[in-house]
Structure 1
Amino acid sequence: MPALLEDPLTTLPAPTAAQTAAPTLTPKKAVLKDNTTPVTLYPIAGGPSTVPDSLIAYLHREFSAEIVRGSTYPMEEPMTLEQYRNYWFGTFAVIALVDDDDDADRGGLVEGRDWERVCLGTFYVKPNYPGRCSHVCNAGFFTTPAARGRGVGMVMGRAYLEVAPVLGYKYSVFNLVFANNTASIKIWEKLGFQVIGRVPRAARLANSAELVDALIIGRDLV
């Protein structure tokens, strides 16, 4: 079976349990590793139309730059803005924003905020397989330049482990974690994930002269 989730033009429908539970999720509070910076993680259950256009445009620009760098995602060419909107926000996603006192009059997911300053990252949750296997989920994570070195990846990883079971998913699998992405691997190991498979020489990456193995990483959500 092809890696459907890496094809932005292919979408698997979320299982009924996830569709039912998603609208009930509410924003969650967290703090970064400095223990002082408050963050809110906003669930996106209603599709891209519920996210400010300027925020999607910002995330699309940063995600496109990540694809061009060629070291973490398998795509070779950036998506169009419309493809990105549906790829990232078409099923279920979460966006992490700083609770910024300087922006208090426009807090939350509203137009007019300085996204480069307050948006730290986002992740999506989707079924990894169709039909009778749709209770196994996959997630994609992306942090912005404002998040670097602040522990945002761990905050979003913990949020994912809270959200995915509520959506009815029983197991999580990440299909393509490149073996030289040590920072990401360390986060998933700390959160209880294990390597359940390896695809030798799976990727041609810009940060390696040799073909890089891809790890398949999994964790029980029950």
Structure 2
Amino acid sequence: MPSILEDPATNTPAPPSMLLSLKSQPQKFTPIKTTLKTGAPVTLYPITSGPSSLPTSLLRFLHAEFSAEIERGCTYPMEEAMEFDRFGEYWFGLFGVVAVLDSEGKEDLTEGGDWERECLGTFYIKPNYPGRCSHVCNAGFLTTGAARNQGVGIVMGQAYLQFAPLLGYKYSVFNLVFENNVASVKIWEKLGFNVIGRVPGAARLANSEGLVDALIFGKDLTETVD
């Protein structure tokens, strides 16, 4: 359920508000426990220390899932997958989250997990613009292949709306939500996002004969979230 992909060859620095929040109030960035619509318990782990803080096997699994999503050519604008090292920094370089099924005795992300079964998805949060506009953020979302149709997308969206304000962001913009990605559009509408723009014929996608419009979604993150 991707929502945005900026140029992967560039890095926008973290806004000062985000760095201040992570340094001064690290206790706020704790795992979120919730349940899917199936009733399955899930924990969403915030990743605040970069890709090196993740188990290598999990990072490789997510890289493979992201590469497969790009190859399908229906949701992200990229035509070629990233190299493994580039993916880790791109996705988890500033702030990321990994959604994992709960299991007995599991308290953290550790090496040796059955990630094809346990890992449900991931998302990142980044500034959408640099400098004086860096309080506006975007995000990219990925639901793993084995976790489709379980309500993972809405759970990650809800977690996004919790973490983004804690990082100091004031507004959220999703630049490329393709109009034919019905599941994604429904999630953002349900979570209170509004369509604030449209890019006609923005994408050549594998699941459409013609060009597909991209919707631009926006939401004020200073509003009270239910």
- 1:6 Cα shift? 2.1
- Name 1:32's counterpart in structure 2: 36
- Name 1:144's counterpart in structure 2: 144
- Name 1:73's counterpart in structure 2: 76
Identity of aligned residues (%): 66
For 1:152 and 1:91, the matched residues in 2 are separated by 22
- 1:20 Cα shift? 2.4
- Name 1:164's counterpart in structure 2: 164
Is the contact made by 1:6 and 1:74 (CA closer than 8 Å) also made in structure 2? no
- Name 2:49's counterpart in structure 1: 46
For 2:71 and 2:146, the matched residues in 1 are separated by 19
Is the contact made by 2:195 and 2:216 (CA closer than 8 Å) also made in structure 1? yes
One-letter amino acid of the structure 2 residue matched with residue 111 of structure 1: E
**In the TM superposition, what are the counterparts of 1:86-165 in structure 2 within 5 Å?**
86-101=89-104, 104=105, 107-165=107-165
196-205 or 139-148, which deviates more: 139-148
- 1:162 Cα shift? 0.5
CA displacement, residues 109-140 of structure 1 (integer Å, 9 cap, x when unaligned):
11001000100000000000000000000000
- 1:22 Cα shift? 3.1
One-letter amino acid of the structure 2 residue matched with residue 98 of structure 1: L
- 1:107 Cα shift? 4.7
Is the contact made by 2:100 and 2:118 (CA closer than 8 Å) also made in structure 1? yes
- Name 1:216's counterpart in structure 2: 216
CA displacement, residues 124-171 of structure 1 (integer Å, 9 cap, x when unaligned):
000000000000000000000221111000000000001000100000
TM-score when normalising by structure 2:
0.92
How many equivalent pairs are there?
215
- 1:212 Cα shift? 0.3
One-letter amino acid of the structure 2 residue matched with residue 194 of structure 1: N
Is the contact made by 2:55 and 2:110 (CA closer than 8 Å) also made in structure 1? yes
Is the contact made by 1:22 and 1:92 (CA closer than 8 Å) also made in structure 2? no
195-204 or 21-30, which deviates more: 21-30
Structure 1 spans left out of the alignment, 5+ residues: none
- Name 1:192's counterpart in structure 2: 192
More contact order relative to length (CA 8 Å, sep ≥ 6): 2
Structure 2 spans left out of the alignment, 5+ residues: none
Is the contact made by 1:5 and 1:11 (CA closer than 8 Å) also made in structure 2? no
Please provide the CA RMSD for this pair: 1.3
21-30 or 202-211, which deviates more: 21-30
One-letter amino acid of the structure 1 residue matched with residue 59 of structure 2: I
- 1:185 Cα shift? 0.1
TM-score when normalising by structure 1:
0.94
* Secondary structure at 2:132 match in 1: helix
* Secondary structure at 2:89 match in 1: helix
CA displacement, residues 184-214 of structure 1 (integer Å, 9 cap, x when unaligned):
0000000000100000000000000000001
Is the contact made by 2:5 and 2:176 (CA closer than 8 Å) also made in structure 1? no
* Secondary structure at 1:20 match in 2: helix
